[in-house]
């Protein structure tokens, strides 16, 4: 692991790091905020997965999570959204390729060589965190994310309920099989077998029996992607009702899809996770 930068903030340490990933076969960059803590303390971990076009930097610079994490004693980890590098397949499209890894393991060429974000988030980066950050208590992990990252947080938590004790999301893509973003990305990354798509669709996973005890979701009602049908929170609401999952879905009037929205409710989410990660 290489340290790219460190800065003191709210009494803790905000770092940006890179490492050679065995999952993506590329160098990957991520950020970690470690709050102030006593020597030998074991701190819970909150993962944040970013949305389309983003890197670790968006939430690190605009997410306004550090004060809440310092108050609650929570480590905050922000990975990238896709593999990077000149050798990585890409296309001139904001919603596919670099910046749009959809937190899945691609099976179709040329994407399968590097686009393995599921393995990166579920296995590769957690192993590095456990090795390099001894204060991180990997028995107490929560996960959240925004938009495509909300999709990642929900699906990863639903597939790994024993690992993640809390899960929330900001304006998540809850049913990619039923919206244009997913209908573009899933067949190209995974092929035409729709059964394989279900592993990466929160509503489908719930209907197939995946369970978490509870969910917190915030959705801005002035979100342009809500208006054009890319976000379908009502489908998650219906799936959770059928499954008996306790969903708190907060529809926030006037808020859009931006980090103005995310930063407004970030402290609520940090506190919500901290309570469940005690």
Catalytic residues: 147, 223, 257
14 three-class SS: strand
- Rounded to whole angstroms, the Cα distance separating 70 from 58 reads 19
- Report whether the peptide linkage leading into residue 102 is cis, meaning its omega lies within 30 degrees of zero: no
**Please, which residues bridge with residue 33 across strands?**
14, 76
- For residues 27 and 34, the answer to whether their CB atoms sit within 8 Å is no
Kindly report the number of other CB atoms within 10 A of residue 259's CB atom: 19
Q: What is the CA radius of gyration of the chain?
A: 17
219 vs 49, 231, 249, CA distance in Å? 16, 9, 7
Kindly report the number of other CB atoms within 10 A of residue 94's CB atom: 10
- For residues 196 and 190, the answer to whether their CB atoms sit within 8 Å is yes
């Amino acid at each position: 692991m290489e340290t790219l930068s460190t800065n003191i903030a709210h009494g803790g340490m905000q770092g940006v790091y890179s490492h050679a990933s065995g999952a993506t076969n590329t160098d990957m960059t991520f950020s970690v905020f470690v709050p102030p803590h006593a020597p030998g303390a074991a701190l819970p971990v909150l993962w944040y997965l970013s949305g389309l076009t983003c890197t670790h930097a968006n939430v690190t610079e605009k997410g306004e999570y550090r004060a809440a994490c310092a108050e609650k004693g929570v480590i905050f980890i922000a990975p990238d959204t896709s593999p990077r590098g000149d050798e990585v397949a890409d296309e001139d499209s904001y919603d596919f390729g670099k910046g749009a890894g959809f937190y899945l393991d691609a099976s179709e060429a040329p994407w399968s060589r590097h686009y393995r974000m599921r393995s990166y988030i579920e296995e590769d980066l957690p192993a590095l965190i456990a090795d390099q950050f001894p204060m991180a208590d990997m028995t107490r992990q929560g996960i959240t994310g925004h938009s495509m990252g909300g999709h990642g947080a929900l699906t990863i938590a639903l597939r790994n309920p024993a690992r993640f004790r809390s899960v929330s999301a900001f304006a998540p893509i809850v049913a990619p099989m039923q919206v244009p973003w997913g209908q573009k990305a899933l067949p190209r990354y995974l092929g035409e077998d729709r059964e394989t798509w279900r592993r990466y669709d929160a509503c489908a996973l719930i209907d197939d029996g995946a369970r978490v005890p509870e969910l917190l979701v915030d959705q801005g009602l002035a979100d342009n992607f809500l208006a054009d049908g890319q976000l379908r929170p009502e489908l998650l609401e219906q799936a959770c009702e059928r499954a008996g999952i306790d969903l708190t879905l907060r529809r926030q009037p006037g808020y859009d899809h931006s980090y103005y929205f995310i930063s407004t409710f970030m402290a609520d989410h940090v506190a919500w996770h901290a309570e469940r990660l005690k």
